[in-house]
Amino acid sequence: MKKYIILLILILMCLPVSAKDKYKSKLKKVSGDKNIQKAVKLLDNPVSDDSYFIILGDNPTKKNIKIEFKDLKKYGNKYAEFEALGWTNKGRLYIYINNKNKNENVYLLSSLISGRAINVDNELSINEEIYSWALEGATWGYYLKKMPELNKLNSNLSNRENFIYQCYSKSPQDVKYIKRLVIANSAYDNYDKTSTGYSDRDLNAKINNLYDAYAEREYVTGF
């Protein structure tokens, strides 16, 4: 009997690990904070799964992104009121979430993280921020449709996510309201319009793909 048990264990160990399981095994390396882990896990959905895989290693570094709560003021006064910040240090990608959001709902944190996850290099551009904000809005919209009770949340972060989602949902095909929002933001005054992977053509393709996922989810839920 003992031989059969040992044989069964060896067989199970040799079974191929699915791509999903491989990525899930990396989740704990992203953060030691349970809420951040839950927030990242929620990104494994039709709208924001690109962010999910980027965080778990599908990025130029081939390493998972580290996500932590931080006092953002230590990176400069201009970041003090940011909700989250993408950062690169010694070839490692980080997402720092403002300490003030430590007790926020995990769905709000997940939406916030979704947009920051696409910042995987040192290049900055208006087009990249447009997609980042559109993705954040679409992700929050997906969660709202899945769990309408999230509409009852009332905090600075929920106000942010609701506002971004409203801008996105008014024109998801071309995100013209998101574009206006980003262009009017003084934080991006010195950004180039385009960057690697975010030419105008790249941006249009990404927005179309995001809309396809968003629209399909709306159809399925009958929203």
Q: Which tens digit of pLDDT belongs to each residue from 150-191?
A: 999 999 999 999 999 999 999 999 999 999 999 999 989 999
Q: In this structure, is residue 172 part of a structural domain?
A: yes
Nearest to 129 by CA among 64, 185, 52, 59: 185
Q: Which two tokens stand for residue 33?
A: 């904070």
Q: What is the pLDDT of residue 223?
A: 33
The runs of H, that is alpha helices, within the chain are: 2-14, 19-24, 27-30, 34-42, 49-55, 106-116, 126-146, 156-170, 176-183, 200-221
Is the residue at 74 inside a domain?
A: yes
What pLDDT, on a 0 to 100 scale, did the predictor assign at position 23?
Answer: 59
What is the dihedral angle through the alpha carbons of 89, 94, 96, 97, rounded to the nearest 10 degrees?
Answer: 180
How far CA 32 is from CA of 38, 54, 86, 91, 197, in Å, comes to 11, 18, 18, 20, 31
- Give domain status of residue 73, yes or no: yes
Q: Is residue 187 part of a domain?
A: yes
Domain membership of residue 80 (yes or no) is yes
Beta strand 92-98 with 66-70: parallel, antiparallel or unpaired?
parallel
Give me 1's structure tokens.
Answer: 């009997």
DSSP assigned state of 35: H
Count structural domains, the chain.
1
Indicate the pLDDT class of residue 26, thresholds 50, 70 and 90: confident
- 82-119 in b/e burial notation, b at 16+ Cβ within 10 A? bbbbbbeeeeebebbbbebbeebbbbbbbbbbbbbbbb
Distance CA 75, CA 53 (A): 27
Among the listed residues 128, 127, 132, 138, the one whose alpha carbon sits nearest the alpha carbon of residue 166? 138
What is residue 175's three-state secondary structure?
A: coil
Output Rg (C-alpha) for the chain, integer angstroms.
19
Residue 7 belongs to a domain: no
* Nearest alpha carbon to residue 60 among 122, 113, 135, 136: 122
In a domain, 4, yes or no: no
pLDDT value at residue 90: 87
* Domain coverage including residue 171: 18-221
Q: Is residue 1 part of a domain?
A: no
Choice among 76-80, 97-101, 180-184 with the minimum mean pLDDT: 76-80
Give the chain's mean pLDDT.
88
- Copy the structure tokens of residue 171: 């024109």
